[in-house]
Amino acid sequence: MICSFPPICGENPKILILGSMPGVASLTRQEYYAHAQNAFWKIMFSLLSDLPVPDDFESRKKLMLENHIAVWDVLESCEREGSLDSKIRNGIANPIPQFLDENPLIKAIFFNGKESQKIFVKTFGSTISLPQFSMPSTSPAYTIKFESKLEVWKSILDYL
């Protein structure tokens, strides 16, 4: 059994970005999106800052907090060999409805990849009425070009 991390969440988040479950590199380092080829932090810094992506996780988290972005995973725990979402078994969801109740300024949910949205919909159905958007996965396993991913991810700016 593997377990996710607590959310990155400061005061008054406006959007929630949900992954499915951290991959092996992230679990090893205990940091969201730690795999060197995962484009998440590069996308976020491209959209929200003029700075290059820092190596330290605290600076990365700070960018999210300063921009009122919460980051979490749909699953609290699951069984999975490796890092692929397709290998997830016996998932237990995080208490996302409660999280949204505790953070009423969240205006939209963005899913980092289709699998996180699929798990979310299967678990919570239509009980959450916020706008929801499936974004291209930032994982290196999803092989479209960085520029194409960045273009779609720009839509988060409409909710900040």
* Long-range own/partner contacts, residues 37-44 (CB < 8 A, 24 or more apart): 37/140, 38/138, 38/139, 38/140, 39/138, 39/140, 39/146, 39/149, 39/150, 40/112, 40/138, 42/146, 43/138, 43/146, 43/149, 43/150, 43/153, 44/69
Specify whether the CB–CB gap between 19 and 121 falls below 8 A.
no
In this structure, what token pair is assigned to residue 81? Answer: 């060999």
Catalytic residues, by residue number, are 38
114, two tokens? 């289709």
For 32, the token pair is: 């969201």
**CA-CA distance, 128 to 144, in Å (whole number)?**
30
Find out whether 136 and 153 touch, Cβ atoms under 8 Å: yes
